[in-house]
Homo-oligomer: A and B are copies of this chain.
Amino acid sequence: MSYQPAVSLAEKISRDLAGRIVSGEIAPGARLRQDHIAVEFGASHVPVREAFQRLEAQGLVENLPRRGVRVAPFSLEDLREVAGMRAALEVLALRNAAPHLTKAILDEAEDATRAGDHAGDVHAWEEANRHFHQLILAPCAMPRLLRTINDLHTASARFLFSVWRAEWETPTDRDHRAILAALRAGDVDAAATLLVRHVEWIGGKYGR
């Protein structure tokens, strides 16, 4: 566990814990002890507290003042909420990005879809899926919006990993291709509708 000087210790701890929360290694509801985490990272508890605050800002933990921090639960209600927010915000981002989408971007997005098709496990798939979304949305150039969407992707990933940890089958992502086809044809409305359906699909499948 060697930390490089360019990134602060608090940030490193935050990233490490985020990965373990998202992957399910640290379970929803689990208490995070600042003193124990500090020992684990060979650090003082002060940057651990700062790391907890970062995780809280990402929605991964809940701070219980003076009583510790616990990993945020992730219920089906959360899933639906996240899916709904993603649908609303990603459409907004897509509509603002559409005038700036180039052939190069769309080609790269197609590569990301292909990478997802060939993903060996759920982590690789989630990464390719997120990359696809980032590619088609980033040209909106709205940093607050993109940041919020990214946090929502992280929340989605928690669910994805917990559901598919036992058995993995690569989803053939026809949705991405349909979105790309609509974007290439300049049909932003169709792309937006497809995007909503794509994002809300998991909410609908597991949200009942």
Contacts and interface: CB of A to CB of B under 8 A. Distances in A.
Contacts of A130: none
Contacts of A91: 88
Contacts of A11: 65
A118 B92 CA distance: 35
B144 A85 contact: yes
A145 interface: yes
A89 interface: yes
Interface residues of A, number: 29
Contacts of A77: 142
Interface stretch (A15-23, A50-58, A174-182): A50-58
Ordered nearest first, which 10 A-B pairs have the shortest CB separation? A57-B57, A88-B88, A81-B142, A53-B53, A88-B92, A84-B92, A81-B144, A85-B145, A88-B89, A81-B145
Nearest to A82: B144
A91 B142 CA distance: 20
A174 to B, nearest CB: 26
15 contacts: A8-B66, A50-B50, A53-B53, A53-B54, A56-B57, A77-B142, A78-B144, A81-B142, A81-B143, A81-B145, A84-B92, A84-B96, A85-B89, A88-B92, A144-B155
